[in-house]
Amino acid sequence: MLHPSVFARLAVVFVLCLLLTGCKSKVTKANYEKVQNGMTLDDVVKLLGKGEKETGDGSNVAGQFGVALPSTPVVGGGDVYVWESDKSTVRITFRQGKVIHKMATGF
């Protein structure tokens, strides 16, 4: 059995290793520029890491305030995923599983 102080030191080293590997963001201008139309979500994840799927389109905002608006068809459509780092935000739109549009701020 490990002595408690040895266990504590190993635990600290383990936590530091996790923090250091998790701090380096893959959301960089260089990686963003590698994203091309036609790439799959898996291809983009390999470059930028795991993104979050954007949910909601704001269509019920008026309804929350009791304002009735006629519905309008969504032009284009697609699934939007977002990647964020400390300074930058990347939004990529996928249609039928392929990149159709990308946009970044903060680079």
| Mean pLDDT to the nearest integer, 27-32 | 96
Taking the C-alpha atoms of residue 27 and residue 29, their distance in angstroms, rounded to an integer, is 7
Q: What angle do CA 74, 78, 79 make, to 5 degrees?
A: 125
| Mean pLDDT to the nearest integer, 78-94 | 96
Where do the domains of the chain lie?
Answer: 25-55+76-107
Q: 71 or 95: which carries more pLDDT confidence? A: 95
| CATH number of this structure's domain 25-55+76-107, picked from the four choices 3.30.365.10, 3.30.70.1340, 3.30.1450.10, 3.20.80.10 | 3.30.1450.10
Q: Which two tokens stand for residue 10?
A: 């190993």
- Backbone Cα Rg of the chain: 21
Read off the pTM.
Answer: 0.63
Taking the C-alpha atoms of residue 8 and residue 4, their distance in angstroms, rounded to an integer, is 6
pLDDT confidence of 10, banded at 50, 70, 90? Answer: low
